[in-house]
């Protein structure tokens, strides 16, 4: 499903990052742990094709990301990858339902109102379909953000610090939600976080260390 | 949901700045469009009014005033000329026809113009009812006059001296309405036409008038023949009659102006100079004077157009600021769109669409505004002048205006669009 090979990235001469090789089977979940500033977000951006690595390659579902031209990459990302950002963001001029419809359009999927209702229903958000998402409560926004990530049935769901701002109870809730949604959509999930609470929730995890050595967990 | 819809939603989600841009834009477009229409209609109307008139002869004075008073019936006359002199000119072989005009009196501020039947024929006037004037103190009304004054066939009224209201009323010399013209959109709609002799009679001695009216009543009198002669064979016959019957020499008869059509272009070359140099009269060429007038009007319309263009430009800046600011707020949205698969081109399309959409909407609103303005002006002017603005077809110049407006909309979107291209996805996301 996902494999990376000798990825490295440099912001400048003093800021070079190397990443361990990752391998992920279809349906697998992976937790990537690391302290702040260690390059977690950079790794996530590399995997989602938002950044280009200095060396190495990333293969998702048989597609070598960096063989694609910009436009193809945009399209591939729209169709194959769903991203849950640290802080939820939406198109403010659209309602939640319209946001989802727009993402279907951008991912080159057919307009599918049934699918939108299905996803919102599974997240308990159907009643908020016609509300502007940025006016929802924090917890609702989090769930709405998950809806955006899964609406196009991506193969890979990436979550960047989804629990950083949440208390224990909500933290577990969100992770459960992510896991169940991933399963429901037959996707793979990668969570990147510094939140040690999540360790117990995942079988597979990788820790990023400053020397970039792989510290296998359990 | 697609990019176009998103553009519309984006515009609709900031009603204040959008309406500011739209108001400015539609004001500018409306002003220019209004001016284009008024300019075009005025020029068409004026050109139409001077059709068939190559030269106007009147008393010495301002040539433009002569044209305005004799052709357009809006200014006061420059004075009177001797009928004998005008007749001499009319007999010139270079002249195809000359139409004498004699005016100075009004009824309820409508001008009473003494002339021959060639004058209404010049504008192809048709009678709605009744007949042409036949005798002295009989009149045929223009359509607007009949409508405004409520006069009908057989009604009588008193003229007052002078072209403004409140002049001396010519007491007990009643005009009788014999006919009413159909509405034609020409200057005649606003006029009361009568024979030349009516004007002479009213301004002549009281005794003259009384004798005249007695003769009129008796029917087959020389005076009746006199009118017939006037209508058929121009002034040369009149001369004899006026000499014989009224004991008044032709030299004393005066008219206000004469409209002249040349037989050949040669007339244009020779006659104006001849008249201006050798007679006490003044020759004025309506074509030439109108060109001068248009170029004067041109300065005014150009200035107004420039002001309107500035308004449009300001609205362009307002569109720009609105797009730019909202884009700053929306950087994260743009990034979101990109991560969900939107290409740069789609986002560019969206920004330009927003600019173009505002421009187009503003343009359409502006056109509507100008049509409303035209309607109001035509309603206002119809009562005072014979100029009808109600036609509101799309002008070619408005097509250019559309293009300019769209260009400004797109230009306003240019800088924001460049910002969008330059968005660094990773950095924006990491900073958030």
Q: Over the stretch B289-322, which tens digit does the pLDDT of each residue have?
A: 888 888 888 888 888 888 888 888 888 888 888 8
Q: Measured between alpha carbons, how far is B274 from B233 in angstroms, rounded to an integer?
A: 25
Is B101 within 8 Å of B113 (Cβ atoms)?
yes
Cβ–Cβ contacts within 10 Å for residue A51, how many?
Answer: 21
Does A160 or B207 have the greater pLDDT score?
A160
Q: Identify the domain boundary among B241, B265, B284.
A: B284
Q: Do A41 and B430 touch (CB under 8 A)?
A: yes
Q: Over the stretch A80-117, which tens digit does the pLDDT of each residue have?
A: 888 888 778 888 889 999 999 999 888 888 888 998 99
Name every chain B residue with its beta carbon within 8 A of the beta carbon of A157.
Answer: none
ipTM: 0.83
For residues A3-28, give the mean pLDDT: 81
Name every chain B residue with its beta carbon within 8 A of the beta carbon of A86.
Answer: 432
Q: Identify the domain boundary among B264, B284, B304.
A: B284
Does B257 or B163 have the greater pLDDT score?
B257
Q: Measured between alpha carbons, how far is B286 from B68 in angstroms, rounded to an integer?
A: 9
Domain hosting B86: range is: 55-284
| Total residues found in chain A within this entry | 218
What is the maximal distance between C-alpha atoms in chain A?
51
Query: Tokens in use for B127?
Result: 């009678």
B148 and B240 fall within a common domain:
yes
Kindly state whether A50 is in contact with chain B, defined as any CB-CB distance less than 8 angstroms: yes
Is the confidence at residue B244, as pLDDT, over 50? Answer: no
B317 and B189 fall within a common domain:
no
Q: Identify the domain boundary among B242, B264, B284.
A: B284
Strand pairing class (B138-141; B169-181): parallel
The dihedral through the CA atoms of B23, B24, B30, B31 has a sign that is positive
- pLDDT classification of B148: cutoffs 50, 70, 90: confident
Task: For residue A74, give the chain B residue with the closest CA.
Answer: B341
Q: Measured between alpha carbons, how far is B128 from B182 in angstroms, rounded to an integer?
A: 5
Stretch among A134-138, B68-72, B235-239 having the lowest mean pLDDT: B235-239
B302 and B173 fall within a common domain:
no
Is B339 within 8 Å of B425 (Cβ atoms)?
yes
Å from A218 to nearest chain B CA?
30
**Chain B contact residues (CB < 8 Å to A):** 1-3, 6, 9-10, 12-13, 330, 332-333, 336-346, 425-426, 429-430, 432
Is the confidence at residue B365, as pLDDT, over 90? Answer: yes
For residues B115-132, give the mean pLDDT: 88
Name every chain B residue with its beta carbon within 8 A of the beta carbon of A102.
Answer: 1-2, 6, 337, 340
Is B308 within 8 Å of B401 (Cβ atoms)?
no
Q: Do B6 and A94 touch (CB under 8 A)?
A: yes
B263 and B147 fall within a common domain:
yes
B266 and B313 fall within a common domain:
no
Name every chain A residue with its beta carbon within 8 A of the beta carbon of B429.
Answer: 41, 45, 50, 85, 160
Instruction: Write down the pLDDT at residue B388.
Output: 55
- Tell whether B289 is covered by a domain: no
Q: CB-CB: which of B2, B336, B339 is closest to A48?
A: B339
Å from B20 to nearest chain A CA?
19
Is the confidence at residue B31, as pLDDT, over 90? Answer: no
Q: Do A106 and B342 touch (CB under 8 A)?
A: yes
Instruction: Write down the pLDDT at residue A101.
Output: 92
For residues B60-70, give the mean pLDDT: 89
B400 and B422 fall within a common domain:
yes
The dihedral through the CA atoms of B371, B377, B383, B389 has a sign that is negative
Instruction: Work out how many domains chain B is built from and give that number.
Output: 2
Name every chain A residue with its beta carbon within 8 A of the beta carbon of B325.
Answer: none
Instruction: Spell out the domains of chain A, with CATH numbers in brackets.
Output: 2-208 (3.40.50.300)
Residue B100 phi, psi dihedral angles, 5° rounding: -75, 140
B134 and B215 fall within a common domain:
yes
- Tell whether B290 is covered by a domain: no
Is the confidence at residue B243, as pLDDT, over 70? Answer: no
Give kind and range of the element (H or E) at residue B128: strand B127-130
For residues B205-230, give the mean pLDDT: 42
Is B28 within 8 Å of B311 (Cβ atoms)?
yes
């Amino acid at each position: 499903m996902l494999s990376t090979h000798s990825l490295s990235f440099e912001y400048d001469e003093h800021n070079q990052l190397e990443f361990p090789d990752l391998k992920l089977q279809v349906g697998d979940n992976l937790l990537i742990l690391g302290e702040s500033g260690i390059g977690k977000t950079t790794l996530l951006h590399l995997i989602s094709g938002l950044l280009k690595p200095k060396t190495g390659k990333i293969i998702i579902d048989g597609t070598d990301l960096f063989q694609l031209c910009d436009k193809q990459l945009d399209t591939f990302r729209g169709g194959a990858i769903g991203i849950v950002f640290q802080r939820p963001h939406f198109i403010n001029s659209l309602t939640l339902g319209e946001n989802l419809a727009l993402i279907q359009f951008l991912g080159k999927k057919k307009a599918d109102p049934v699918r939108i209702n299905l996803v919102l229903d599974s997240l308990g958000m159907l009643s908020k379909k016609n509300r502007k998402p940025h006016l929802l409560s924090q917890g609702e926004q989090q769930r709405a953000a998950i809806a955006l990530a899964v609406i196009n049935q991506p193969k890979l769901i990436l979550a960047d610090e989804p629990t950083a701002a949440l208390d224990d109870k909500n933290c577990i809730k969100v992770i459960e939600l992510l896991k169940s949604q991933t399963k429901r959509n037959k996707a793979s999930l990668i969570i990147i976080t510094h939140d040690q609470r999540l360790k117990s929730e995942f079988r597979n995890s990788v820790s990023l260390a400053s020397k970039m050595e792989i510290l296998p967990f359990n | 949901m697609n990019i176009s819809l998103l553009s519309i939603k984006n515009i609709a989600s900031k009603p204040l700045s959008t309406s500011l841009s739209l108001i400015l834009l539609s004001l500018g477009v409306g002003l220019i469009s209004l001016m284009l229409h008024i300019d075009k209609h005025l020029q068409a109307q004026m050109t139409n009014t001077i059709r068939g008139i190559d030269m106007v002869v009147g008393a010495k004075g301002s040539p433009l005033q002569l044209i305005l008073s004799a052709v357009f019936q809006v200014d006061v006359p420059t004075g009177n000329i001797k009928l004998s002199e005008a007749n001499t000119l009319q007999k010139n072989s270079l002249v195809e026809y000359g139409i004498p005009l004699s005016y100075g009196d009004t009824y309820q501020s409508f001008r009473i113009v003494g002339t021959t039947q060639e004058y209404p024929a010049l504008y192809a006037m048709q009678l709605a009812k009744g007949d042409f004037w036949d005798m002295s103190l009989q009149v045929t009304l223009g359509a607007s006059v009949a409508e405004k004054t409520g006069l009908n066939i057989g009604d009588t009224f008193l003229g007052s001296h002078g072209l403004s209201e409140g002049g001396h009323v010519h007491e007990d010399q009643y005009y009788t309405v014999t006919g009413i013209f159909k509405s034609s959109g020409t200057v005649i709609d606003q006029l009361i036409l009568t024979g030349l002799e009516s004007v002479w009679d009213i301004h002549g001695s009281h005794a003259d008038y009384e004798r005249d009216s007695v003769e009129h009543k008796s029917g087959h009198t020389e005076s009746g023949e006199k009118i017939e002669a006037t209508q058929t064979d121009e002034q040369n016959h009149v001369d004899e009659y006026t000499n014989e019957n009224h004991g008044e020499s032709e030299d004393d008869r005066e008219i206000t102006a004469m409209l002249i059509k040349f037989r050949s272009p040669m007339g244009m070359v020779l006659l104006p100079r001849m008249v201006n140099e050798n007679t006490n009269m003044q020759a004025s060429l309506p074509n030439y004077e109108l060109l001068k007038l248009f170029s004067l009007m041109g300065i005014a319309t150009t200035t107004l157009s420039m002001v309107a263009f500035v308004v449009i430009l300001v609205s362009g800046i307002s569109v720009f600021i609105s797009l730019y600011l909202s884009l700053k707020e929306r950087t994260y949205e743009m990034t979101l769109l990109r991560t969900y698969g939107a290409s740069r081109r789609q986002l560019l399309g969206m920004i330009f669409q927003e600019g173009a959409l505002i421009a187009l909407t503003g343009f359409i609103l502006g056109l509507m505004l100008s049509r409303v303005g035209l309607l109001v002006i035509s309603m206002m002017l119809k009562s005072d002048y014979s100029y009808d603005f109600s036609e509101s077809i799309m002008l070619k110049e408005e097509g250019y205006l559309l293009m300019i407006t769209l260009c400004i909309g797109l230009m306003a979107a240019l800088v924001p669009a460049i910002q969008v291209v330059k968005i660094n996805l990773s950095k924006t996301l990491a900073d958030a």
